Amino acid sequence: MSLKKIVIDPITRIEGHLRIEVEVDDDNVVRDAWASGQLFRGIEIILKDRDPRDAGLLAGRMCGVCTNSHFRGAVTCVEDAYGLEIPKNAEIIRNLMAMALFIQDHVVHFYHLHSLDYVDVTSALTADPKMTSKEAHKYHENPYRNSHSHYEETLKKLDNFVKSGKLGPFANGYWGHKTYKLSAEQNLLLISHYLEALKFQTKVSKAVAIFGAKTPHPQTLVVGGITSVADMLNPQRLNEYLFIMKEAHEFVQRAYLPDAKLLALAYRDEIKAGVGRANGNYMSAGGYSFEDERKLFCDGVIHNHDFANVQDFDASKITEEVDRAWYEGNQFEFEVKYTDLNSDGSLKTEKNDDKYSWIKAPRYDKQPMETGPLARILISYSKKNPLIISFVDEFLEETNLELIDLCTAVGRNAARAIESSYICEYIFKLVSELLQNVKYYDTDTWKQYSFDALQSEAQGKAFLEVPRGTLSHFVNIKGTKIENYSVIAPTTWNATPKNFDGLRGAYEEALVGLKIEDRSKPLEVLRVIHSFDPCLACAVHVIDTKGKELGKYKISSLK
């Protein structure tokens, strides 16, 4: 048996720089895989010696996509350090911003970053508009913009686009690949939603900006609360937010969720074969409480697909290792240690201590974990969270699937669509709660404190569920300055390199066993990796390109 390597670098339609190498046997089945973060970052260094009250605005710059998530992560961990509890209304406004972002992020991921792995644009050109409308009715009783004329118009747009020769996002696809399974009409249906989703994403961004002043990079979170008080108290602004989210709800219910069902039915064989299944370890920090302290997401940890035994999430079990990452040191102190690639330009992966990624290796109780919408669904469903059970059951019934089937590449997308669906419902409950508070004259939005009176040495941490999974921020404060800052982002978990024990992370494990139809067009690899919604800009931190030591990061002291 001879083993051959396939290298994809960079993986496109993601945020940041990711390289994937897989080793395939004579039958083109993946035997091993390596995920490598190829990007230098250093925002945590910039945070050093800064005023802790500025941490949010700086941390938001870690990524161009997850700006609000890091903004909130930083503000929350500084509040934790100082023991500041924020008013309920501030928490609600922060949640409303986050929830709009969840919806925007998931929709953009499904249509603009991922759908072309399943949708053959060239096939859509041969679709019959009338049959397309009929096809849409199989997945929803009242499909989104489902007139014949709408599909005719879409077809015309697509045709003009192709004739112009400027294919833009549709250039360089693996069109005609044997593993494209959708019919011409199904392809046209999804392309139509792809185009609608472009308009959708600008609208939902406005919803974030109503309370955030702008997006990306909202401005209105401050240590102790929020500053968008006038927006919160203005019925017109609240109505505007509600109107946008109602439209978003319509799109999710009548386009996104039905499309996820369509995909699950078309790729049933892949789902049943477990294509894209990772190691079965799932983690969620939980959160987003309202009313009587019920939580939208349960916290928990699942090992080896054992859904019956969900353990409580215990942050003290998190460690970071660097055996195979371009760092040196022990669990708590890292220095940059870049090692060259092989002479042919491939990653050094032969020996079990060869280093091959800028992403560090976070572990929970020594195990690699998968985090994200799928993990949240599995944990919340297994813990019988009444807010989500019916959404999951309905999807599984209509597609004739079981919970374990979601633990696949296609299933990960289904989980994201299901999550979007129940988040939309939750948003309306949250707005009602806010209106109730304001009605009874509870208009607090900021916890008053004197910065000078706060303790001079403090340590804080924040664990938040954000669109791509569990995000952790850690801060050490000394005097009035940040002494040390550290972040573990969702993609750091999912794209982790191996470790001294050789255990693969979620990306790598999900690729093993994958059958590649054509080695020169590894579409199957893209499907698996894209299903995680990678954000590499978030995943790598604390680097200097000249290899100088930038600082030591002590996570152990932050328990």
Q: Which is nearer to Ni ion, 41 or 504 (CB)?
A: 41
What is the Cα–Cα distance from 147 to 49, expressed in whole angstroms?
59
List the interface residues with Ni ion, window 52-111 (CB under 5 A): 63, 65-66
What is the Cα–Cα distance from 427 to 207, expressed in whole angstroms?
12
Q: Which is nearer to Ni ion, 184 or 539 (CB)?
A: 539
Distances 178 to 181, 185, 222 between C-alpha atoms, Å: 8, 17, 52
Q: Which two tokens stand for residue 456?
A: 């001079």
Q: Which is nearer to Ni ion, 65 or 100 (CB)?
A: 65
Q: Which two tokens stand for residue 69?
A: 């998530």
**Angle in degrees, 0-180, between the axes of helices 184-212 and 257-266, rounded to the nearest 10:** 140
CB of 218 to Ni ion, least distance (A): 15
Return the amino acid letter for 241: Y
List the interface residues with Ni ion, window 521-540 (CB under 5 A): 535, 538
Q: Which is nearer to Ni ion, 212 or 225 (CB)?
A: 212
What is the Cα–Cα distance from 336 to 339, expressed in whole angstroms?
10
> CA end-to-end span of the chain, whole Å?
49
Using CB under 5 A, count the residues that bind Ni ion: 5
**Phi/psi at 285 (nearest 5 deg)?**
-85, -10
Q: Which is nearer to Ni ion, 119 or 538 (CB)?
A: 538
- Residue 477: count other Cβ atoms within 10 Å of its Cβ: 24
What is the Cα–Cα distance from 262 to 257, expressed in whole angstroms?
9
Q: Which is nearer to Ni ion, 355 or 468 (CB)?
A: 468
Q: Which is nearer to Ni ion, 129 or 373 (CB)?
A: 373
What is the Cα–Cα distance from 127 to 113, expressed in whole angstroms?
23
CB of 101 to Ni ion, least distance (A): 11
CB of 537 to Ni ion, least distance (A): 5
State CA 501 to chain mean position distance.
27
- Is there a contact between 11 and 3 (Cβ–Cβ < 8 Å)? no
List the interface residues with Ni ion, window 200-239 (CB under 5 A): none
- Is there a contact between 68 and 464 (Cβ–Cβ < 8 Å)? no
Closest CA to 66 of 383, 424, 534: 534
DSSP bridge partners of 347: none
Q: Is 197 in the site for Ni ion (CB under 5 A)?
A: no
Residues that bind Ni ion (CB under 5 A): 63, 65-66, 535, 538
